[in-house]
Chain A
Amino acid sequence: MTETQPASPAKALLLLPVLALLGLFFVSVFQLFSNGFADADGWSLRYFRQIVNRSDYQVIFARTILSSLTVALLSVALSYPIALLLWRLERWRNTLLIVVLVPWLVSLVVRTYGWLVLLGPKGVINGMLAWTGIIEQPLALMFNDLGIVIGLTHVLIPFAVISILSSLLAIESNLEEASGVLGASPFQTFRRIVLPLSLPGAFTALIVIFLASIGAIVTPIVLGGMSHQFVGSQIYQEVMYTFNLNKAAAWSICLLAISFLSLLLLKAIERRLIGTME
């Protein structure tokens, strides 16, 4: 439509909720930054210095970044075959997609506590292994990085399945037939045609899951315990237990910076890897 409709007061009212949301967003971001870069005496980088200089905090950053990267790679690797299966089983696709998404109907906290039951020292997995005599001492499956990675991967895998499936579905229907007529075996067709064309979806999944994981709170708290903090759970602790809002803000700004820089880095890698495909 080229002509603009006359603005009426009633329509202007519709803008109010949007403005309210935007306002809330900017106020909280402003609050965050003014808390992070200040202390009781005015502007200061005190809290940042506190965070950056402590070696146990450096471990938290390293754990958050490395675990998130592991979660992202693991999720994509595990969901690629699932997406491929859904793509192939045309008739069952929608039913199976519901199965993939069903965990989302259960609250995150409940699901995470479910893993507690499975992974604990007297949990289902250790119990089974001990019963069959494979192990004598229970394996440390939680209150460590492994537990966090397992929990986060489980939570985030559906994102990867959906993202990869959508790029598979975007492949023109008879590219595979064309490749076959030109002499390719099914495996060659997969390696040279299907895989390269689905990489953009896989990479999007990698980025989304990395960013979601890097800010995780609940899973690290429940499955990592006090000894294995994530940046997110550390922020939660500063707010809820030590009531140090300035330090929590400084943590948050660090997290924001890490997310932003990783996004730039991953996008650069993606361009390198995939090129400018249309």
Chain B
Amino acid sequence: MSPAQPEALAQAAPSRAARGSIHVAGVAKAYGATTVLSGLDLAVEAGTFVTLLGPSGCGKTTLLRLIAGFIQPSAGKIAIDGRDMAGLPPQRRPIGMVFQNLALFPHFSVEENVAYGLRLRNVPEAELRRKVGTFLDLVGLGHLGSRRISQLSGGQKQRVALARSLVLEPSILLLDEPLSALDLQLRKQLQAALKEIQRQLGTTFVFVTHDQEEATLMSDRIVVMSAGAIQQYDTPPAIYSQPANLFVAKFVGELNEIPGRIAAVTSETVEIDGPGGRHALPMSGIRGFSPVPGTSCVIGLRPERITILPPNADADAGGRIALPGTVIERIALGSVLRFVLRCGEQRLVAVRLASDGAALPEAGSPCRIAFDPADAQVFEPLAAPAAASFGEKP
């Protein structure tokens, strides 16, 4: 490491390019007859900000606690930096953890909370002071070191919990919904701060949340989980545009669901009977299943992919599919306009830029609802348990 580097960062981030990879292979966890996780495989590269995303009860916290070593897998292996972690207790793993309730020590000052792990390692007093100072500065609490925990605000407590884990320079930092108790404003601030700190240090962060917006905002990669299994592991844009199945598509971002029935399948297209007749959609829109004629399916359309045209417009130009409909609501949401449309029995949501508003119809007026067949995605309908996590009856 060159001596010319800025001091704070040089102290906080020693070279760790190779540290912080996680390999999960065939991991399952069951309590008695209840299976919480089944056959998980996951490879996280060092230095990634990974989010475990899913509804409550999907097993994301269980996976985090398995990586931490609080619980042992019923089957399978977990390796950190290529080293098998089987049987190792949390204190022997190269990890840090920020708990949902933060778990700060109420009888210590801010400084002593951060110094706790260093004291356990018998770090000399001078070095300990220097490190505690560096990491309190890193989280922006350099001036509050002597405060008691009870004198801090919610956001400041988060930062103490973060500094307390990071000061030990773990390969991996596990974060169990640490922002869920905060109000929106503070939450946004801390999301940005967390992301910035992760980028500076290059530590692998594994972040658990049920908030898809938070996951999209912060992560390099998202693990979408449901019913104890990984549904998809990819970058946020890929998960939004290429969801593996209907669950992922519904959980990340908004989705219009149009029920249909598969009529015919060719090598290039799949023909689906839906509202307004039979539509031919390209095979590239099929997500995660092989279509069989005669079975039901769901056509998924993102709100920004729906175009709203005047009722007399020549909509079919360029191979677009156009259906007659009505505008039910038109809501201005700052930079975008949100439309609720009706197309036969089907209710659809469309989002357009507010700057295009002048050309768009008002509420109550008839319109044509158009979309490019290439923008439509075709899914298998959700199985009952997955549907239940959206509060739906199958």
Contact = CB atoms under 8 A, between A and B. Distances in A.
B240 interface: no
A6 interface: no
Interface string B108-142: 00000000110011000000000000000000000
Given A177-B70, A178-B99, A181-B95, A188 B120 contact: yes
B241 interface: no
Given A177-B90, A193-B105, A182 B164 contact: yes
Contacts of B148: 278
B116 A174 contact: no
Contacts of B164: 182
Interface in B154-177: 164-165, 168
Given A183-B120, A183-B121, A278-B150, A172 B97 contact: no
A173 B97 CA distance: 15
Interface string A163-181: 0000000001111011111
Given A172-B101, A278-B148, A278-B150, A181 B96 contact: yes
A193 B105 CA distance: 7
Contacts of A173: 101
In terms of DSSP, what is the predominant structure of the interface of chain B?
Answer: mixed
Nearest to B65: A177
Interface in B67-117: 68, 70, 89-91, 95-97, 99, 101, 103-107, 116-117
Most chain B CB neighbours (cut-off 10 Å) among A180, A181, A183, A184: A181
Given A174-B101, A177-B99, A278-B148, A183 B117 contact: yes
Given A177-B70, A179-B116, A181-B90, A196 B103 contact: no
Contacts of B68: 181
A229 to B, nearest CB: 43
B90 A277 contact: no
B121 A175 contact: no
Interface in A165-211: 172-175, 177-185, 188, 192-193, 196-197
21 contacts: A172-B101, A175-B103, A175-B105, A177-B90, A177-B97, A178-B105, A180-B91, A181-B68, A181-B95, A181-B97, A182-B91, A182-B117, A182-B120, A183-B91, A183-B117, A183-B168, A185-B91, A188-B120, A196-B107, A275-B107, A278-B150
Sort A-B residue pairs by CB-CB distance and give the 3 closest, nearest first.
A178-B103, A182-B117, A278-B150
Interface of B: 68, 70, 89-91, 95-97, 99, 101, 103-107, 116-117, 120-121, 148, 150, 164-165, 168
Interface of A: 172-175, 177-185, 188, 192-193, 196-197, 275, 277-278
